[in-house]
Amino acid sequence: MIEFRIPLGAWVDAGVDWILENLAALFDVVKVVFKSSYDGIEWVLLTPSFPIILVALVAIGWLVKNWKFALGTAVGLVLIYGVNQWEAAMESLALVLLASLIAVIISVPLGILAAKSDRISAVVKPLLDFLQTMPAFVYLIPAVALFSVGVVPGVVATILFAMAPGARFTELGIRGVDKEVVEAGQAFGSTPWRILRQIQIPLAMPTIMAGINQVIMLSLSMVVIAGLVGAGGLGGEVVNALQRIDIGLGFEAGISVVILAIYLDRLSASLGRPSRAASMA
């Protein structure tokens, strides 16, 4: 019997080895930039005392949504502080904010390009399908190989895992804008850039924000997995609880993740809704 095996894994290993040999300097720069950015966000969140950050996050919730959401935010954050998970929660929040920001910066322009060109869309869609269906744990392997352990591979894996909805929803929103509205802009002599900036993006903003909401949620779901490679935060607490079979610690870290998820979800969803004034105009 003849054994037949496609050496796909060997090809991938060879590709990674080539990258490590020829692009090591580039990845060192990326590592420094990501680590410095993470440290800066973490410093902002952890240097002020708990009451200051609490008031800031509650105020944001009140301004963006309403007083009920602000009150719920206060209760949830006090609970996180009370179970001694505040520092870990802020580390996780820093990772989520950085990874989500970079994922949005990449995915939204990519979605706009895909909406403007069927050829680009035909190339981007299989790539997004691949990123979205690949098991989350698999992203950690090349991330660790390229950036060693720590917070940086967690950020990189989170970006790859979370960026697909941002591009998909952006393309969907741009393509869903009424063609008659676009044609009206063209009739008045508007340039394609002006039509995109003043017509298509504003009308597609609720859909785009829905994609950004999903980017944030996927980033937060990756936080726990990133704890396996030393990213720290609540993911590190969950990993510690798993290693020690500490149900109490695992529940405390898990409920802290849930509170952050609810806060970020409601906040980003509220930002995506048109204002009452705009809807009445």
- Supply the DSSP string of 156-167, one letter for each residue: HHHHHHHHHHHH
Q: Which two tokens stand for residue 200?
A: 């298509």
Whether 168 is in a domain gets the answer yes
Whether 76 is in a domain gets the answer yes
Q: How far apart are CA 105 and CA 167, in angstroms?
A: 10
Q: How far apart are CA 217 and CA 226, in angstroms?
A: 14
Whether 42 is in a domain gets the answer yes
Angle of helix 136-147 relative to helix 201-226, nearest 10 degrees? 80
For 75, other C-beta atoms within 10 Å of its C-beta total 11
What single-letter amino acid sits at 20?
A: L
Cα diameter, the chain: 75
The domain in which residue 46 lies consists of 34-274
Q: How far apart are CA 201 and CA 63, in angstroms?
A: 24
Torsion-angle region of 117 (φ positive above 0: left; ψ -120 to 50: alpha; else: beta): beta
Q: What is the pLDDT of residue 37?
A: 92
Domain containing residue 245: CATH number: 1.10.3720.10
Whole-structure pTM value? 0.85
Q: How far apart are CA 233 and CA 82, in angstroms?
A: 16
Whether 166 is in a domain gets the answer yes
Rounding to the nearest 10 degrees, give the CA dihedral for residues 70, 76, 80, 86: -20
Q: What letter does residue 148 receive in the DSSP assignment?
A: -
Query: Do the beta carbons of residue 231 and residue 223 sit within 8 Å?
Result: yes
Q: Which two tokens stand for residue 115?
A: 């909406």
Q: Write out the chain's pLDDT in tens, 281 residues.
A: 557 777 787 888 888 788 878 877 888 888 899 999 999 999 999 998 999 999 999 999 899 888 888 999 999 999 999 998 999 999 999 999 999 999 999 999 999 999 888 898 898 888 888 888 888 778 788 788 788 878 888 888 888 888 889 999 999 999 888 888 887 887 877 788 888 888 888 888 889 988 898 898 888 888 778 887 877 788 888 888 888 888 888 888 889 989 998 898 888 888 766 543 334 33
Q: What is the pLDDT of residue 272?
A: 63
Q: Give the position of tokens 């993740």.
A: 257
What's the Cα-to-Cα distance from 134 to each of 61, 140, 158, 235, rounded to whole Å? 34, 11, 12, 20
* Pick from 103, 85, 92: nearest CA to 139: 103
Whether 23 is in a domain gets the answer no
Q: What is the pLDDT of residue 2?
A: 55
Q: What is the pLDDT of residue 274?
A: 55
Whether 73 is in a domain gets the answer yes
Whether 20 is in a domain gets the answer no
Total structural domains within the chain: 1
Whether 25 is in a domain gets the answer no
